């Protein structure tokens, strides 16, 4: 037997229950992994609450790392004992997980399992946002919301490697200091950030807004863009954005609005391996610092979700089975 967090009804954090389940066997092209660390992400809260429809019952967890205990039929490229990580799987809030080989990558020497788990979803999200949405050029100015969050800290560092001027928002002086430590050129309060952006750009606005917050920042974020700027909405920590009249994008300066998802940027095996290798290499050479803001025993998953949704956290949260 093994233990996993099981959700039998959508709702608040209290719906997560630690239960004993049978250790699963890997099927063809699957790995059985002993989980070392599982990432806690906002998408988990969306699935738990029912905001993202997920058939019941289920176990949360898109992202984790661990040691391969067994391989299924037809598996190549992986062996028992390998340390692997994944960022778009299922049921990682558990002591053991089944992972399709199409989603797993080998963790290289020099990258600790906890760091690998912290990188897979948020690190590759930051990677595609910087490398595959907007063709950023040196000297561009970009606004990143939630600069002290897990994605925000990584985004800031990767953007600075491209020579981009980074403006961020943060909800407290402590979070602002963390954002500056990651390289933010200016850290703004959420209240009135649009006007502050205009002041800092001599009225032009920014090349892009990278927004994982959603409802509370969307409208003002559109107004912070320069003509032909791009609004990249990659999350909804404050709730879903209401419907948008496309004509508003025209009147505000022929803006571009996109709502990307990591799944579409790692669907190809070569692209998955490229993104993972890039972020692992950046960690190994010291060019990317991964802040693990909190670790929790698997049994404390409820507390982890409460802390995340209460905006009491910075960096990455991990469950340690």
3-state secondary structure of 310: coil
β-sheet bridge partners, residue 31: 71, 99
Distance CA 95, CA 61 (A): 12
CA dist 90 to 2, 39, 161, Å? 16, 12, 32
Distance CA 236, CA 217 (A): 10
Structure tokens at 71: 């391989």
DSSP conformation class of 207: E
Q: For strand 30-40 and strand 316-320, is the pairing parallel, antiparallel, or unpaired? A: antiparallel
Query: Would you state the pLDDT for residue 147?
Result: 97
Distance CA 61, CA 47 (A): 10
Distance CA 299, CA 304 (A): 10
Give me the average pLDDT of each 10-residue run along the chain (321 residues).
97 97 96 98 94 94 97 97 96 97 96 96 96 96 96 97 97 96 98 97 98 96 98 93 95 98 94 97 93 96 96 91 94
Q: How many CA atoms lie within 13 A of 237 on its CB side?
A: 22
Which residues have a Cβ under 8 Å from the Cβ of 309 and sit 6 or more positions away?
A: 13, 45
2-122+268-320 folds as Quinone Oxidoreductase; Chain A, domain 1 (3.90.180)
Structure tokens at 171: 């909800």
In degrees and rounded to multiples of 5, residue 210 shows phi and psi of -110, 105
Q: How far is CA 236 from the centre of its chain?
A: 12
- CA-based max dimension of the chain: 62
Interval 245-297: pLDDT, tens: 999 999 999 999 999 999 999 999 999 999 999 999 999 999 999 999 999 99
The ranges assigned to domains in the chain are 2-122+268-320, 135-259
Structure tokens at 290: 């991964």
135-259 folds as Rossmann fold (3.40.50)
Query: Would you state the pLDDT for residue 311?
Result: 85
3-state secondary structure of 174: helix
DSSP state string for 66-108: EEEEEE-TT--S--TT-EEEESS-S--SBSEEEEETTTEEEPP
In degrees and rounded to multiples of 5, residue 217 shows phi and psi of -115, -10
Interval 60-91: pLDDT, tens: 999 999 999 999 999 999 999 999 999 999 99
Distance CA 174, CA 168 (A): 14
Q: What angle do CA 281, 261, 90 make, to 5 degrees?
A: 80
Query: Would you state the pLDDT for residue 237?
Result: 87
Q: Are 304 and 40 a contacting pair, CB within 8 Å?
A: yes
Neighbours of 291 (CB within 10 A): 16
Distance CA 220, CA 194 (A): 6
């Amino acid at each position: 037997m093994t233990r996993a967090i099981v959700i039998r009804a959508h709702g608040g954090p209290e719906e997560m229950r630690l239960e004993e389940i049978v250790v699963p066997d890997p099927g063809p092209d699957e790995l059985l992994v002993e989980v070392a660390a599982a990432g806690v992400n906002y998408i988990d809260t969306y699935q738990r609450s029912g905001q993202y429809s997920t058939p019941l019952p289920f176990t949360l967890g898109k992202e984790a790392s661990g040691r391969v205990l067994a391989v299924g039929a037809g598996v190549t490229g992986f062996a028992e004992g390998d340390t692997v990580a994944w960022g778009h799987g299922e049921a990682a809030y558990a002591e053991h997980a089944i992972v399709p080989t199409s989603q797993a990558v080998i963790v290289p020497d020099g990258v600790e399992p906890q760091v690998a788990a912290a990188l897979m979803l948020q690190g590759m999200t930051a990677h595609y946002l910087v490398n595959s949405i907007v063709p950023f050029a040196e000297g561009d100015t970009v606004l990143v919301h939630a600069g002290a969050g897990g994605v925000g800290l990584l985004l800031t560092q990767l953007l600075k490697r491209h020579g981009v001027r980074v403006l961020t928002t943060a909800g407290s002086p402590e979070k602002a200091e963390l954002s500056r430590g990651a390289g933010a050129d200016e850290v703004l309060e959420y209240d009135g950030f649009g006007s502050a952006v205009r002041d800092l750009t001599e009225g032009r606005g920014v090349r892009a807004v990278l927004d994982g917050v959603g409802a509370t920042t969307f409208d003002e974020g559109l107004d912070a863009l320069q003509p032909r700027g791009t609004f990249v909405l990659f999350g909804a920590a404050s709730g879903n954005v209401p419907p948008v009249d496309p004509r508003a994008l025209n009147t505000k300066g022929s803006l571009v609005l996109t709502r990307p998802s990591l799944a579409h940027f790692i669907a190809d095996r070569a692209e998955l391996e490229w993104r993972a290798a890039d972020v692992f290499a950046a960690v190994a050479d010291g060019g990317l610092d991964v802040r693990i803001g909190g670790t929790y025993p698997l049994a404390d998953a409820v507390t982890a979700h409460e802390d995340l949704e209460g905006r009491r956290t910075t960096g990455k949260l991990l469950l340690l089975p």
